[in-house]
Amino acid sequence: MLHFVINPASGNGKSLRAWNRIRPLLEQTGVSHAVHVTSGPGEAAAICRGLAESALAREQFEPGKRDVIVVISGDGTLREAANGLLGAGGGAADPGRLPALSVIPAGSGNDFARDHGVPLRPVKALSNLLEAVREGRVRRIDAIRFADGGAAINSCGAGLDAAVAIAVNRSPLKRLLGRVRLARLAYVFLMIRVLAAYRPAAVSLEVDGVRHTFRHVWLAAVTNIPTIGGGMRINPQASPEDGLLDVCVVHGISRLRLITAFPRVYSGTHTSISGVSFLRGKRVRLESASPLPAHADGEDAGVNPLDVRVEHRVLDVVV
């Protein structure tokens, strides 16, 4: 059974338009499916947790008849769905007993889809999904677990990247550009605006018990996949399956240097720039003298300290 979870608020109605495009094609296939439309924040997590608890309650488990939850939305709703699954069974359920997770990308960033090879166009994404289900193509991935129990599946961070993500989510510019399929440009425009007023800070990063101190830090991005913010390859070597978190710290460079170097993040060639440092480990804790905005999969996560660890291979995805 395919369970489609649709967030109508995602992408300025993009998710509903995507569903309307794929629904006739899905019905032609005769594949058994159900539709769940969310009405507010947190509902996707509740729906997915309920589906997961039902799967765990079944007396007999048949791997060939496993449910797949297909999120038609952006990375924020996908994170909600993942949290619902990861919270089932008291948070310690066998991933193989839970429904698998998949996506028809309909957000502004779609980093999860991009880094997992899911086509960004709805019809192609549906074709890819149906093929993956037929072939039993499942990938077991890591998750980023926060000290408060929440999780992210793409990234988290503190500093400028979080400030930009929060500004994008609050700005009407994202919705306006989304109408002409240019929502990714909102990240670029708002990056420049936020950068003009942003003040870097001294940061202490503890990675697997080893403390690293950086001055004049613009951002610290902790990722499970290479990209953030709609295609910025901030940690090009990151893998969602290696049991490690990748950290990019941008520090000790001028505002002008940051602006001129910024385009290189889209190709991942910023790695050679002086003032860009990389760390890797299973647990990361970030502290700073002054509060820094934080994000989880591009959603507002308050302020630091940021304390996260990797959970190795805890979620199955069909991609």
CA distance to 9, 74, 79, 82, 144, per residue, from 41 (Å): 10, 13, 11, 14, 20
For 288, the token pair is 């700073």
- The dihedrals phi and psi of 11, each to the nearest 5 degrees, come to 60, 35
In angstroms, the CA 49 to CA 69 distance is 11
3-class SS at 217?
strand
Percent of the chain with pLDDT over 90: 75
Q: What residue ranges define each of the domains in the chain, with the CATH number in brackets? A: 2-136 (3.40.50.10330), 155-312 (2.60.200.40)
pLDDT digits (tens, 9 = 90+) for 41-100: 999 999 999 999 999 998 666 656 799 999 999 999 999 999 999 999 888 889 999 999
- pTM for this predicted structure: 0.92
The pLDDT-based confidence of 229 (bands split at 50, 70, 90) is: confident
Measuring CA to CA, which residue among 266, 261, 310, 263 is closest to residue 284?
310
Question: Residue 298: phi, psi to the nearest 5?
Answer: 80, 5
pLDDT at 144 over 70: yes
